[in-house]
Amino acid sequence: MMKIVKVIQWDMGHRVLNHRSVCKGLHGHRYKAEICVAGELVQKEGASEQGMVVDFADIKKTARKCIQDELDHGFMVWDKDEELIDFFKQSKGHKPVIVPFTPTAENVAVYIFQKLEDKFSDIFQTGLHLHSVKLWETPSSFALFERDGRQG
């Protein structure tokens, strides 16, 4: 089994509504996600992907469509954050991303994992799977979500 990692980055605002300190205020991060895909090397003679797990370009293309295009310069809002939901209803020119969870690094990592896993299952050949998403919220803090064995 080989693991490969593609790194993507985007800018996004958020707040952690119930946080005891500064994370309660509106602010933004340069997010970075390390997308890890695991599988066996393609052995097929003459295939474009011979000797690879999967083409990095395929991961990049999917990640751009379902992560960066959707989130870059967006503002992630918990659907229970009524103050901000009201604000985004009244004020145009923003890019709210309304989600059913408080947007901590941990929850954003799971969100990205699930979005990618959905898309990857369409394009990946059998045996390949999304192994983990490491979501950097700051240069010194990340949340790591790994597929657990029970998911198969």
Q: Choosing from 19, 27, 40, 73, which is the catalytic residue?
A: 73
6-40 burial, b at 16+ Cβ within 10 Å, e below that, comes to: bebebebbbbbbeeeeebeeeeebebbbebbbbbe
Kindly give the residue spans of alpha helices, DSSP state H, lying in 48-104: 56-63, 69-71, 82-90
Annotated catalytic residue 23: yes
Annotated catalytic residue 117: no
Cβ(56)–Cβ(34) below 8 Å: no
Annotated catalytic residue 40: no
CA 61/CA 26 separation, integer angstroms: 30
Q: At 136, phi and psi to the nearest 5?
A: -90, 125
Q: Choosing from 23, 34, 70, 117, which is the catalytic residue?
A: 23
Q: Hey, which residues are catalytic here?
A: 23, 73, 137
